[in-house]
Amino acid sequence: MSGPRVGVLALQGDTREHLAALEEAGAEPMTVRRRSELDSVDALVLPGGESTAMSHLLADFELLEPLRARLAEGLPAYGACAGMILLASEIEDAGAQGRAALPLRGIDMTVRRNAFGRQVDSFEGDIPFAGLDDPVRAVFIRAPWVERTGEGVQVLARAADHIVAVRQGSVLATAFHPEVTGDRRVHQLFVDIVNGRR
């Protein structure tokens, strides 16, 4: 029996790494660039990249409103870094007027872009993650953090006293990039969520 069909938004970012991680976690991964592909998946991963560019590419590819609608209907989703920013209901420092990042409203939270600093401030470290026995190696690259969580949002991890991983129902988000470490537990958690096991 094959696993759930999990799409990876392939407009920008670590698409290949997420596809590999999902396959190792038991999913049937595929890239998503078109409405028909979005309509065919059981769940979606939004990778890292540049949140403003990604949100406007979503609009250019006519995926923004269909994706918002599917999320509102309960589509499981996982966002890493820029993906976390896009899944927010509100984005602090969203960008210049007319080119601001556009929230998908998948999780009731306020996220601050580039909160840990610029590219030169990128770092990695081991952080405890709720539901996982051992800490995860978290790679932060121009990473956001969560400034506010709404009711029903579970905080899964913190770094430097800031919220860096959350879950609301079947939607998961991390400020870091688990796809680059070889540790597949975050992707496995997401696939288990899609399968209704977690």
The span from the CA of 139 to the CA of 77, in Å, is: 20
Name the active-site residue from 17, 18, 56, 177.
177
Tokens of 116: 């840990």
Q: Which residues have a Cβ under 8 Å from the Cβ of 193 and sit 6 or more positions away? A: 76, 167, 170, 172
50 labeled binding residue: yes
Catalytic site includes residue 179: yes
The span from the CA of 15 to the CA of 12, in Å, is: 7
51 labeled binding residue: yes
105 labeled binding residue: no
Tokens of 92: 């602090």
Catalytic site includes residue 28: no
Which phi and psi angles does 4 have, rounded to 5°? -65, 150
70 labeled binding residue: no
Name the active-site residue from 17, 18, 56, 81.
81
Which phi and psi angles does 154 have, rounded to 5°? -95, 125
49 labeled binding residue: yes
141 labeled binding residue: yes
- Residue among 21, 71, 75, 25 at smallest CA distance from 48: 21
Catalytic site includes residue 18: no
The sign of the CA dihedral 56, 60, 61, 66 is positive
The 10 Å CB-count burial string (b at 16+, else e) for 101-127 is bbbbebbbbebbbebbeeeeeeeeeeb
Q: Catalytic residues, which ones?
A: 81, 177, 179
Annotated binding site for L-glutamine: 49-51, 113, 141-142
Annotated binding site: 49-51, 113, 141-142
